[in-house]
Amino acid sequence: MSTSIPTNPIVEAILSGKAPRQAKLAAASGLLPLGQSDLLEVLVALRKSDEAELSEAATETLDSQTLDDLLVAAKSAETSASVLEYVATCSQANRQIHEAVVLNTNTSDQAVARLAASTPDSSVLDLIAINQQRLVRFPAIIDAILGNSDRSSEAARRALETKREFFEKERGAQQIAQELRARGKSAAAEFFETADLGGELTLEDAWLLAEHIEVSDADLDNSWLPTERYEDLAAETPEEKAANFKRILEFERIEVGEVPAERISLIRRLMFMNARDRMKMAMKGDREARGILIRDSNRVVAAAVINNPRINDQEVENIAAMRTVSDEVLRLIAINRGWARSYSVIHNLVRNPRSPIPTVIGILPRIRTKDLSHLSQNKNVSEAVRRHAVRLSQARAGK
């Protein structure tokens, strides 16, 4: 499922809470010049406002939307998950709208489950039941179908077959792995073949994590990790895992503002894995997983991200500027010959107050004179770095 990030600055300002109240009120009343998709996204957000006037105005404007408006939103690939969730449970919506919601790839599994539980239309349930991949990924949909008295015998049959095949057989995880392999997703299949399901890791957790794995075992190189460092992957207490989760979440809020619910869910699942499994995920995960695990409090886990074979130069450049990663990560970037050849990377490293001072001092001779001058006046870096930048600038000027 894809998620959309607002590109309209007006929408972004309203959703982030930065817009002035009058702009929010105008938006809630449908008076701002917004496209249909943007308008609905703003209205859905504002109807949950703690301020009664905003909430009531947004609700009234939403209620005034025509069936054609809702159908356009349900079909559009640009419609956000929050709007699709609203449309899925909207009392005005008809069969055609609900079917479009079910078929829209942006619709969340949770929204489909709620629709499956509430719709009186058996044809909509039939359409939901056909998507076995979604049912396996989010088994609450199966329960919703079977719990809906308006289901057809066909929808019930499909839901029960999926439940028996994937959840009631002893080798359910292997069944899923076979399906993933058939679709060419060998890295995710490997995860299911070795996952310890039934304990802390539920099938729902496993599905979410598997979607973020893109590196197979054959592509891994473990030579970067000395045997003695495995001691750093010792068991953690539930309190330590909870603290790590809160720490990562706070970093996310500092850097990007409001964190989407799906992102929070992924962070929670990753942080409550044991350290050894987080390390494996760091080496095998996609860009989204890497972006979370690079700030893990366990330095081995964070270093594993740097050793992920899919990490690219742009990611490394961004990491080099992060103030929420460990100094060890920044040191490892600096000693990597490939990345150290990038001026953008080393420039970010010397400006990052988290970079170890010896590492920065070693890089400074490669920094351009103009940037050295700026660095010498940068109050965010250490005094030692500023002094060294001044000396280098003066030496180049012949002073």
Tell me the two tokens of residue 35: 């496209």
Q: Computed over its alpha carbons, how large is the radius of gyration of the chain?
A: 25
Tell me the two tokens of residue 160: 């029960």
In angstroms, the CA 48 to CA 57 distance is 11
User: Is 135 within 8 Å of 162 (Cβ atoms)?
Assistant: yes
Length of the chain: 399
Banded model confidence at residue 84, pLDDT cuts 50, 70, 90: very high
In angstroms, the CA 344 to CA 347 distance is 5
Mean confidence (pLDDT) of the chain: 88
In angstroms, the CA 129 to CA 121 distance is 13
In angstroms, the CA 282 to CA 278 distance is 6
pLDDT at 1: 45
Mean pLDDT of 85-113: 93
Mean pLDDT of 7-32: 86
pLDDT at 171: 54
Helices 327-335 and 343-351: angle between axes, nearest 10 degrees: 150
User: Is 375 within 8 Å of 383 (Cβ atoms)?
Assistant: no
Banded model confidence at residue 2, pLDDT cuts 50, 70, 90: very low
pLDDT at 86: 93
In angstroms, the CA 344 to CA 340 distance is 9
Residue 7 has pLDDT above 70, yes or no: no
Q: Point out the least confidently predicted range of 223-227, 294-298, 355-359, 387-391.
A: 223-227
Helix (H, G, I), strand (E, B), or coil: what is residue 241? helix
Alpha carbon 198 to chain centroid distance?
24
In angstroms, the CA 297 to CA 279 distance is 12
CB atoms < 10 A from the CB of 8, how many? Answer: 16
Q: What are phi and psi of 201, to 5 degrees?
A: -95, 110
pLDDT at 131: 94
- In DSSP notation, 273-290 reads S-HHHHHHHHHHB-HHHH
Banded model confidence at residue 170, pLDDT cuts 50, 70, 90: very low
pLDDT at 218: 86
Residue 72 has pLDDT above 70, yes or no: yes
In angstroms, the CA 3 to CA 260 distance is 9
User: Is 112 within 8 Å of 102 (Cβ atoms)?
Assistant: yes
pLDDT at 172: 63
Tell me the two tokens of residue 17: 């809470």
Helix%, strand%, coil% for the chain, nearest 5 = 70, 0, 30
Question: Three-class SS string for 346-391?
Answer: HHHHHHCCCCCHHHHHHHHHHCCHHHHHHHHCCCCCCHHHHHHHHH
CB proximity list for 34: less than 8 A, separation 6 or greater: 8, 10, 11, 27, 42
By the 10 Å C-beta count (0-12 exposed, 13-18 middle, 19+ buried), 17 is classed as exposed
Partners of 197 in the β-ladder = 201
In angstroms, the CA 393 to CA 371 distance is 10
User: Is 145 within 8 Å of 162 (Cβ atoms)?
Assistant: no
Mean pLDDT of 242-271: 90
Q: Point out the least confidently predicted range of 151-155, 196-200, 302-306.
A: 196-200
Domain ranges of the chain: 1-107, 212-311, 324-399
pLDDT tens for residues 187-227?
888 887 777 665 566 777 777 788 899 998 888 888 888 77
CB atoms < 10 A from the CB of 396, how many? Answer: 12
pLDDT at 397: 83
CB under 8 A, 24+ apart: contacts of 186-192: 186/216, 187/213, 187/214, 187/215, 187/216, 187/284, 188/213, 190/216, 190/217, 191/284
Residue 335 has pLDDT above 70, yes or no: yes
- In DSSP notation, 171-195 reads THHHHHHHHHHHTT-HHHHHHHHH-
